[in-house]
Structure 1
């Protein structure tokens, strides 16, 4: 089983353009993410997939691997284009703006496919429990609900589930944007048109659910910083110094 990691890296992020080229210590955000993924030693190869010559040059000038792609609506579409001609079985998508992801959760994601001999699972991803009401309400935090076997039922920027019955304790989970795909599932995703729920929420993993593919969610207690807005960058810099 050949396992590779691909880091989708778009320069013109909607909420924070150019965020991947911001400095985090003495390296850019994207260079930090790339280095951390390589240092896990879990992958046969690691690539950055980007539509930006700035990001491409940032990675390749330091001896890293990068692939130029065209314009794509989602990170999954970008990765599918990047790996179409690469021989591999499993692809781990590490978001370029998640620089502090560690080895343990990546190993957990990979193990999902090693323990799935019938190849019923299309992809796996991570979730972490939310306890702060402001974080639960924040639309930048994508929430996920699962069934009793931890397969995703739905993702939303709204707080889900809605706690109408206040006497019952309800757990909320944030989706961490790290995916592990079977290559055939990823290529299938890229061939399918968006449907209204994905368009409305702007959450790409909804497309997998709308077309009947199974997403296994792994709970983690890892606390990193996803860099979506400038304030997140300051939090990441503080974490780096701690």
Structure 2
């Protein structure tokens, strides 16, 4: 469904973060990219979502070349980003966040669907962004992205700063999204969380991506730790 070939990108042409990254996400599923801080995880997701223009390479989503297109066009093509740090509007209510986000088409997630998917948000629908707990803010960040009815959800460290209980709720919800036709590409800092969530796991180190690893392999944790220690991270 997503084909990435030789993707090279960075914030400046003379300071590249991604170096010839290639991978395929063939069918709806959950795929994780693990890497240390500064490895290039956020740069990769922002490049796929159109927030950064690649220096070279190609990105094809469901047969459509979306290389280097603007963020609003990437959203219309079926890409949604749930960014690290959440980036909610503090003065808008939960309901406001979900009603001002325009769906790319009439199918997919309605506001009521999202409240069913995230019951805590339904109870807080009239609360403003700054009044929500960290877990509720993260749920709203993902719900806002899903409101655009994406084929591909890019979730940048969605469990960051959450308690184990709330993190478990968020990952369980992500795990269920392929059944609704959404492919999930999630970045995580630790191998254990990735192997518990994903169908395939990649390691990003120094701007280069490993071959996919099977999290059900009994040696997956060992292999992931080995990959993570191969090369140091670069600044993002």
Q: TM-score, structure 2 length as denominator?
A: 0.29
Q: TM-score, structure 1 length as denominator?
A: 0.28
**More relative contact order, 1 or 2 (CA 8 Å, 6+ apart):** 2
